[in-house]
Structure 1
Amino acid sequence: MPATAAPATKPPKGGPLTPRALYQDVAERLRQQIFNRELEPGAWIDELKIAAEYGISRTPLREALKVLAVEGLVTMKVRRGAYVTEMSTTDVAQVYHLMALLESDAAGRVAAHGSDAQIADLQALHDRLEKQVRQRDAFFDTNEQFHLRLLELAGNRWSAQIVMDLRKVMKLNRHLSLFKQGRLAESLAEHRAVMAAIAARNPAEATRLMRAHFDNGLAAAAG
């Protein structure tokens, strides 16, 4: 029999997939400017100036600002435009409270149900922290990786997503807590205790120690 041509592949419904939208790239660039303090908390975001700097129209910029507003990094004010969010003392306390609840629960769950390989993975991140106590930025990054990995291992994707969003907002205030004089060494000691409780398969102690870790972080942020 003669060969027959393969049937034409139908395009996916909804049209072809497109590369990452421009507004997402704009949102990421703005996000990093906020985290790096190039845009300070409370600062008005000059849309005309930023659009000119980025070489874009105001449409993707405004879409990006909506994304950052949902994340809590930007506050939209009627007839006044967008501002980098300022965290009040109450805001900080409320965020720490939520993070303490979710992450202490995660620590207890991993202590109770984590596999040996998962706990070894956490231990490796903690060991990296031990070596980075004199390297602030590296310590901060690894510390975040540790907490997010703990949430991932706990297996509740909703908790993980909430904490990821809360941690973005807390970066507006990181110089008040983790980077406070002496706080890195204290935080490391608290991590060491949490890690020991998880490795010992002691859920109650892991939960208690993680809650204390956040209580101490809040005290440093408020002090």
Structure 2
Amino acid sequence: MRVIQNSLHDEVAAQLRERIFAGELSPGAFLDEVALSAQMKISRTPLREALKVLTAEGLVRHEPRRGCFVNQVTAQDLDEIFPVIALLEGRCAHEAALHASDADLLALQLLHDKLGRHAKARRINEYYAVNFEIHEAIIALAGNRWLAQVIGDLRKIVKLARLQQLHAPGRLEQSLAEHMAVFAALKARDAEGAEVAMRTHLTRQRTALRDLASSTKSRLA
């Protein structure tokens, strides 16, 4: 019976997570347990367990005597998170350079070819999707489940901010060049070079987001 209950609250957590990422449950929104239970046709017990999961992930915050709210990611949060992700994914690139087989590198070559085509055609959504595949592939090649778990948790917080750094002027081309630098280091089995290139790539993402936020604020002023 416990397995069934765990399975249900995991499913509920997954549904709520997707609604948050889609913006259906917006940052700061109150999560009304009565209304959500009725919408999802479940009791409040699995819902509360699901909310605990999302709270642990940082997607939801619990306020005593008030309830649960969708978390809001601040600029300071991003300033603190990006250097950590850069360090962790940099280490993944280091390990991937040591462990990648010729077949692994061929698979990465195909992904980078697709990335280049999407960049040239300025298909930003498709570029994001392949970009994600490449990062996931490099994390997998590192072969360290603890790194993968922590990066996955931090990525959820970043995703909550609904960031669009590729819309910053010149960022798409810069991002592609950074990816190619990482891949060149991987092909050369240059672990140190791959680590530095990946850290640079992620650090520049934060810079691009900061610049985009500043230009948007200036236009609205």
Matched position secondary structure for 2:73: coil
Structure 2 residue 157 is the aligned partner of structure 1 residue 172 = no
Matched position secondary structure for 2:176: helix
Aligned equivalent of 1:100, options 86, 105, 125:
86
Give runs of aligned pairs for residues 97-176 of structure 1, distance below 5 A. 97-133=83-119, 134-176=122-164
CA, structure 1 residues 36+183, in 2 after alignment: closer, same or farther (shift >3 Å)? farther
Conservation of the 8 A alpha-carbon contact between 1:176 and 1:222: no
| Equivalent AA in structure 1 for residue 32 of structure 2 | D
> Counterpart in 2 of 1:204?
192
**Post-superposition shift, 1:178?**
4.1
Matched position secondary structure for 1:132: helix
Identity over the aligned pairs, expressed in percent? 44
Aligned equivalent of 1:74, options 60, 75, 81:
60
| Equivalent AA in structure 2 for residue 21 of structure 1 | S
- Unmatched segments (≥5 aa) in structure 1: 1-14
Aligned equivalent of 2:210, options 183, 197, 222:
222
| Equivalent AA in structure 2 for residue 47 of structure 1 | E
**Post-superposition shift, 1:125?**
2.2
> Counterpart in 2 of 1:3?
none
**Post-superposition shift, 1:174?**
3.6
- Unmatched segments (≥5 aa) in structure 2: 212-221
CA, structure 1 residues 58+135, in 2 after alignment: closer, same or farther (shift >3 Å)? farther
> Counterpart in 2 of 1:40?
26
**Post-superposition shift, 1:18?**
4.5
> Counterpart in 2 of 1:64?
50
CA, structure 1 residues 16+31, in 2 after alignment: closer, same or farther (shift >3 Å)? closer
**Post-superposition shift, 1:23?**
1.3
TM-score (norm 2): 0.85
Point out the more displaced range, 74-83 or 125-134: 125-134
Conservation of the 8 A alpha-carbon contact between 2:31 and 2:67: yes
**Post-superposition shift, 1:19?**
8.7
Q: Deviations over 1:40-85 (max 9, x none)?
A: 1122112222222112222211111111111111111111111111
> Counterpart in 2 of 1:189?
177
Q: How many equivalent pairs are there? A: 209
Q: Deviations over 1:115-174 (max 9, x none)?
A: 211222222222222233333333223222211221111111110111011111110124
**Post-superposition shift, 1:180?**
4.2
TM-score (norm 1): 0.85
Conservation of the 8 A alpha-carbon contact between 2:5 and 2:46: no
Select the structure that is richer in helix.
2
Distance 1:89 1:199 in 2: 35
| Equivalent AA in structure 2 for residue 202 of structure 1 | D
Distance 1:19 1:42 in 2: 28
Conservation of the 8 A alpha-carbon contact between 2:99 and 2:141: no
Distance 1:31 1:160 in 2: 19
Distance 1:155 1:130 in 2: 26
Distance 1:191 1:61 in 2: 40
Distance 2:42 2:26 in 1: 22
